[in-house]
Structure 1
């Protein structure tokens, strides 16, 4: 209904519209076509509309970086065809679609001055401000996405955008998932809604980007396999090839992350640059971000693996968070001096619970309420071919100290480009490290942690001819993490008590050094192609507080060609991924957080997938056989303690763009 309604008023259409679609990104523009899209048709005496170049269908980020709609079928598109719609090289999924992911490598590139809301394991599929794009399209565009899941359910996404005038664009989209999963009590049900618009006035002085998002991410939680379930999972008994027969720790819990956000980014050119007369420009900018989040953990009855509980039935932990961030900026632009800007801002936050908890060890408050005033400066310039960017922000008053400084330079080369950046960030740990309340006794705390101080130095080299490579060195002081705190529980069938880990907030008082080297290369020769990615990591500290595998590698070998007189483009081959053994983080369902543990090693294992992808016009079809080693040799691998890896499965998907 939305598609046809918008089509009725969004574009002025000629008498007849050509059935041709916009040009493929892998096809050259026909330079012999007349520039005028309305041409006389001598045979029919009517007018036709030529297809618009795909480059006119622009995608604009919140930072004004511009790309265009891409309907090509490449190996990168295969990597991005997943629930997150992003390349997941550095991630390892849990058993069901929509559950969390194990992070195999880190970036530590936050620019925030404020603590973040907790439940970070639920935020992989949460749309942040930078995940929302804006558009400028000559005709309406619709994108449909579908992919099968595990057992009952499906993963669907629909998106529509159109320009109701050359200056005004609107967009609306929804991504929904429901998947039962193959293990007991791990159903996932998520929804991500976005709607927004952008405006650029005819005189090009006033610009607006705004959006609203509403998101709910629900996961049933089973606490992973029970000790007996782990034994049966590792055994050879065919009875347990049916994964629903494996015992789990509990079957009566779920957690959910709800979030809503209104975002407005507007600017007005007080003095507008004119290339022929005026060389200076002054721009007034304003950004408002209102975020409202809620996280809940619910369980029918208390479970001993989390220790003592205040309640025996109907446990419910619920935390709320609201933040309003207002920022004003003034920017001066000059062809010689570049862009020099200043900013001031105010953040008002309210995080907490509905009760005050009084214990023998002390009182745990119910709220963290306050505000922060901050100021900063920006600088951007291009001197010859050298691009320079700088940003500095600092909290000048309020309840939280914080600062962020970064600088970057980049230079184009004949074989690619090279860039370097340095940054330092100091901010308070996330809110759930500072204050948390639960019906479980062990999950109640109020901490006054110091700021986490992060220094980051990065170098990047990009070259289609040679290799894309990056080197990052990060040092962290006051690194804050959740640490494993064991509880011994008597389990039936086991002579000795079984140790279960719960997560406790901890701040490390020594320095953590993290080195990361990443290299990527895609090579194609005729109808054959290969793509390889390598990540090398090294962590040095006096204690094992940050655990990552030393090596993560992925490689693809594939065949590609046009069939049926170029009516179909085919891509098929194998992708293999491997990571070295390491002490993988454990997952805590109450917090929806990962914790550091050093008792159980997660053995590295190969993940091999076979894919068969095809493209017909602007429709891309994906078939994949996932985890072939499991099909051939069985599966006894884990992604985290008590969390098994996915078995082999055949999945089908579709991505289709319509250009009206």
Structure 2
């Protein structure tokens, strides 16, 4: 009832402002892939238009906001379709297309919620000519609700700030599996009047609350028993007999994992170069400054913590999975990490006016501290790094060579070297991309040590992981396809062999991965086809489906001059494989070869997506396959939800 009232209020607010803002977004019309205007660099604009773009930190590329209707999963939920999650929305997730962790240096190892959260790498530094706001609200079956708020504005040409908040709440269909996430981000950009000094701010805070039920009891066949048509009656391994109280803002879970991540980064730059005053018109002059040398200082503080709590533990589950003999007292585990780093870099720009062409060299000092239930640890690292980048002004060539090396400290000997070459050939052949990357790194700390109130385990025998990636990719807008071929070569790959024991692959192995996306169009009928093939050679100790595919068959049209409509069906499928199990206490996926997971039928969804000027709506019926087949499983004992209805709204405001 509360959800219905909230939707009505939101729709009423949209109707009140719709007449005022509708004309301002006229330039966003067109097909499902329309986006904002590109920033031209000028500072005079018509009153009914907006120029907005953003950049990633350290990346000299302008990006536009995505107003597409085509991919609900990626553009609205912001979770790639290739990700699987443990049945319920917001639950621990991993990519079905194998993506090894290839960052050298210290890593705590908590990544099962990364796809939902913010970080410094995906921070958006905006530039906009007018204040811009975006609101998102989704309501679904079982009281699922998502709320999203985005606001950014330039106070002057010299200062911009952005704020974003996401709320993800999903009680789920099964016992003790509710998720309730709060995700925040603040960004800022400032440059001095003479444009010699620049500063950038990135702050994020992710709080992930996940109910742990250890999977269902009774096997796959229990879901076909009409006695359990109401899924809350199916017995689960954890929290089975405990009361669960969940709501949008308050959730009480009998067994839960809490993962808190936060980060603060402040970048300061001072440039030497040459400035010119550009005459725009009779009343407007624009000062342009081109740097040729820059000193950059970066201060960063990152925190990452995991806590597991079970107040009424199930003796059989823990004895069976963790080999614990205990008296049923509360089980608790808590690991907290803080990493403080200071970085100084020197940057040279060889060609005036092209900040995409630079040479940089620098050093970073890291101070890391870990806090556990019964112990603390601290250590440090000294890192050297450098980069050469040449992104030509005609946008045809992009060349990059970069590397970092851990000179001394806990992670001494870790390194990464990367080389990339990209070339735009022509409209017919599109863009081709070549990449080489090699990373040598210590295994994440979760594989070396973990403690709880019942037990602690250590593994001091792990060698450094070494991973090489060779990639070829092609992007062709005219023929509407994307192709990527990835070849991984891995040594000392680290994994969990059971619920609490880590190990490394016994030998060098490789993995071939081919991913193809193709858009077919006939009049107003569209077919979005996605294919992925993966093959492991050697004793890899990784679980991946050999074949994954997704298809969207849609009818797209424009009605009444301002209604963009997309309606159709979506199907997703992957071949059977030994899907990873999941260890709740340590919050990690676990390698297993005893139970194959298969799709009883493709995941099916029917949808109607439309946009009227500044308002977009996504109406979807998902998991239609559960009407005629058993629920598909994400992993052993973790079924996906039943049929789900979802209504998602997104609208934009120019203030």
Query: What's the secondary structure of 1:583's corresponding residue?
Result: coil
Distance 1:342 1:36, change over 3 A: closer
Paired with 1:353 and 1:153, the residues of 2 have a C-alpha distance of 34
**Corresponding position: 1:624 with 2:620:** yes
Paired with 1:370 and 1:435, the residues of 2 have a C-alpha distance of 15
Paired with 2:448 and 2:361, the residues of 1 have a C-alpha distance of 32
Equivalent in 20, 28, 33 of residue 23 of structure 2: 20
- Alignment map for 1:563-602 (pairs within 5 Å): 563=559, 565-602=560-597
Relative to the length of structure 1, the TM-score reads 0.84
Partner of 2:17: none
Query: What's the secondary structure of 2:63's corresponding residue?
Result: strand
Distance 1:508 1:524, change over 3 A: same
Instruction: Name stretches of at least 5 consecutive residues in structure 2 with no aligned partner.
Output: 1-19, 240-253, 279-287
Equivalent in 431, 445, 449 of residue 458 of structure 2: 445
Deviates more, 1:260-269 or 1:402-411: 260-269
- Alignment map for 1:165-244 (pairs within 5 Å): 165-226=156-217, 228=218, 230-233=220-223, 235=224, 237-244=225-232
Structure with greater Cα Rg: 1
| Contact 1:514–1:540 (Cα < 8 Å) also in 2 | yes
Partner of 1:430: 444
| Contact 1:473–1:513 (Cα < 8 Å) also in 2 | yes
Paired with 1:278 and 1:212, the residues of 2 have a C-alpha distance of 28
Query: What's the secondary structure of 2:462's corresponding residue?
Result: coil
Distance 1:608 1:523, change over 3 A: same
Equivalent in 495, 516, 520 of residue 519 of structure 1: 516
**Corresponding position: 1:614 with 2:643:** no
Partner of 2:554: 558
Q: CA deviation at 1:181?
A: 1.4
Relative to the length of structure 2, the TM-score reads 0.85
| Contact 1:279–1:334 (Cα < 8 Å) also in 2 | no
| Contact 1:321–1:351 (Cα < 8 Å) also in 2 | yes
Equivalent in 306, 312, 328 of residue 328 of structure 2: 312
Partner of 2:297: 286
Measured against aligned partners, the alpha-carbon deviations of 1:574-600 in whole angstroms (never above 9, x if no partner) come to 111111111100011111110110000
Measured against aligned partners, the alpha-carbon deviations of 1:155-175 in whole angstroms (never above 9, x if no partner) come to 111111111111111111211
Equivalent in 604, 612, 630 of residue 635 of structure 1: 630
Partner of 1:460: 473
Partner of 1:127: 118
Partner of 2:13: none
Paired with 2:195 and 2:265, the residues of 1 have a C-alpha distance of 21
Paired with 2:475 and 2:144, the residues of 1 have a C-alpha distance of 41
Equivalent in 529, 537, 552 of residue 526 of structure 2: 529
Partner of 2:361: 342
Equivalent in 70, 82, 85 of residue 90 of structure 1: 82
Q: CA deviation at 1:474?
A: 0.7
Instruction: Name stretches of at least 5 consecutive residues in structure 1 with no aligned partner.
Output: 1-16, 39-48, 356-365, 485-501
Q: How many equivalent pairs are there? A: 589
Measured against aligned partners, the alpha-carbon deviations of 1:512-556 in whole angstroms (never above 9, x if no partner) come to 201111111112232111111111111111x35011011111111
Paired with 1:215 and 1:311, the residues of 2 have a C-alpha distance of 34
**Corresponding position: 1:372 with 2:381:** yes
Paired with 1:218 and 1:561, the residues of 2 have a C-alpha distance of 41
Q: CA deviation at 1:223?
A: 0.5
| Contact 1:24–1:617 (Cα < 8 Å) also in 2 | no
Distance 1:144 1:309, change over 3 A: farther
Measured against aligned partners, the alpha-carbon deviations of 1:236-267 in whole angstroms (never above 9, x if no partner) come to x2121100110101203111011221111222
Moved over 3 A (4+): 22-30, 35-38, 271-280, 382-386
Q: CA deviation at 1:558?
A: 0.6
Paired with 1:82 and 1:591, the residues of 2 have a C-alpha distance of 30
| Contact 2:173–2:641 (Cα < 8 Å) also in 1 | no
Paired with 2:311 and 2:290, the residues of 1 have a C-alpha distance of 67
- Alignment map for 1:11-90 (pairs within 5 Å): 20-27=23-30, 50-53=47-50, 56-62=51-57, 63-71=59-67, 73-76=68-71, 78-83=72-77, 85-86=78-79, 88-90=80-82
Paired with 1:37 and 1:549, the residues of 2 have a C-alpha distance of 53
Query: What's the secondary structure of 2:137's corresponding residue?
Result: strand
| Contact 1:94–1:102 (Cα < 8 Å) also in 2 | no
Paired with 1:177 and 1:339, the residues of 2 have a C-alpha distance of 40
Partner of 1:362: none
| Contact 2:202–2:265 (Cα < 8 Å) also in 1 | yes
Q: CA deviation at 1:446?
A: 4.2
Q: How large is the Cα RMSD of the aligned pairs?
A: 2.6
